[in-house]
Amino acid sequence: MARQVGFIGVGRMGEPMALRLIAAGHELVVFDARPQSLAAVVAKGARAVSSPAEVASAVDTVLLSLPTPPIVREVALGAGGVASGSKVKTVIDLSTTGATAAREIAAALAAKGVTWVDSPVSGGVAGAVAGTLAVMVSGPRALCTELEPMLSVFGKFFFIGERPGMGQTMKLANNLLSATAMAATAEAVVFGVKSGLDPAVMCDVINAGSGRNTASMDKIPRQVITRRFQQGFATGLMYKDVRLCLEEAESLGVPMPVASGVRAIWARANEELGADSDMTAITQLIERGAGVVVKGK
């Protein structure tokens, strides 16, 4: 059933998700801190307003797609934020916010009669465009069931649990594996290239064997060997996700020595390549140390 909803944050991931909602017949009231980002969704019929509070005064359900936990917190609870809206009853967070922040924001909103639903997504910009994201949802079961048809517009719906933050924990576990696969596969392929192997043949062999992973199947062949480096997910965001995962693990008393090493290399990539660089550019960091370039023959 089509509904009127709010959408805050129409950047790399938010724009294609918002456009999929519009294509499915939903009416959108939208806001982004960068007015130029609103053009594509407004052109498809969305109504732009001037603040998160205005979004939350126009609709009862607001979706967030934002880059960092502090921004999510500010948009939800800050001056002129969603919590100031007069109509909002449900906030759905599509961002990667982390369980601790999610629980804190959920409690603050609950005091105002607003329900928080985790709904982080995985699959990148391509998945957002195609509607093939993994959608990890946690919140009151009945409400999540009610929201499932709308959230399934983004991809495959997974109900993770009822407690705030459970969807966020699932997302951080997933992104830790994604970050590990990218860094480790880049190291393996650079090692092979330095030894004289063809990186394309390496990927073919890896993908036919037990080392197969998302980086060997997609990111290395399509973004690194071609030298495009346009996967669509920033180095700074991947570093943020790995860092958040380690912080959550440490708070739970879960030792993660492998993840600690992964965090260190993504911290280096973030510092040396820049937060806005594409996540696949981490290969360039390893190439520099080895003195080789991974490219097609």
Active site residues: 171
Which residue from 7, 31, 34, 33 is spatially nearest to 20, judged by alpha carbons?
7
Residues in the chain: 297
CA-to-CA separations, 172 to 15, 56, 221, in angstroms, rounded: 22, 28, 25
CA-to-CA separations, 134 to 6, 127, 137, 174, in angstroms, rounded: 21, 9, 10, 10
Tell me the torsion sign for CA atoms 67, 72, 78, 79.
Answer: positive
Burial grade of 11 (CB within 10 A; 0-12, 13-18, 19 or more): middle
Query: What is the β-pairing status of strands 133-138 and 121-122?
Result: antiparallel
Which residue from 251, 288, 261 is spatially nearest to 272, judged by alpha carbons?
288
Which residue from 221, 223, 239 is spatially nearest to 231, judged by alpha carbons?
223
Quote the CA–CA distance of 295 and 82 in Å, as a whole number: 47
Burial grade of 26 (CB within 10 A; 0-12, 13-18, 19 or more): buried
